[in-house]
């Protein structure tokens, strides 16, 4: 199965909230997830609480071949998870 790390949008209009999840790459954006890996709240003023990631599980999924989306790759690089290189 092709696994992709991507963001799913939640929240209301003009107040986005995203969950980082591992999903089947062939499915649409807000489909059933394999595993929730964290969340991203771009509206929060505190940069410490904007991105919350489960580092161990993200590194596991990257090690077994999951491919992050471009946005997720940028978030992971900013968080210091270095194995978010393009495959």
pLDDT at 85 over 60: no
* Domain residue spans of the chain: 3-79
pLDDT of residue 82: 63
pLDDT in tens, 20-76: 999 999 988 778 899 999 999 999 998 888 999 999 999 999 999 999 999 999 999
pLDDT of residue 30: 79
State the Cα–Cα distance between residues 64 and 14, nearest whole angstrom. 36
Span 3-79 CATH architecture: 2-Layer Sandwich (3.30)
Buried b (16+ CB within 10 A) or exposed e, 6-40: bbbeeeeeeeebbbbbbbeeeeeeeeebeeebbbb
């Amino acid at each position: 199965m092709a696994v992709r790390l991507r963001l799913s949008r939640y929240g209301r209009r003009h107040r986005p909230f995203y969950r980082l999840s591992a999903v089947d790459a062939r499915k649409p954006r807000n489909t059933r997830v394999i595993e929730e890996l964290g969340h991203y709240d771009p509206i929060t003023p505190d940069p410490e609480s904007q991105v919350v990631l489960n580092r161990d599980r993200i590194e596991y999924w990257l090690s077994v071949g999951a491919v992050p989306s471009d946005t997720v790759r940028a978030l992971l690089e900013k968080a210091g998870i270095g194995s978010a290189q393009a495959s």
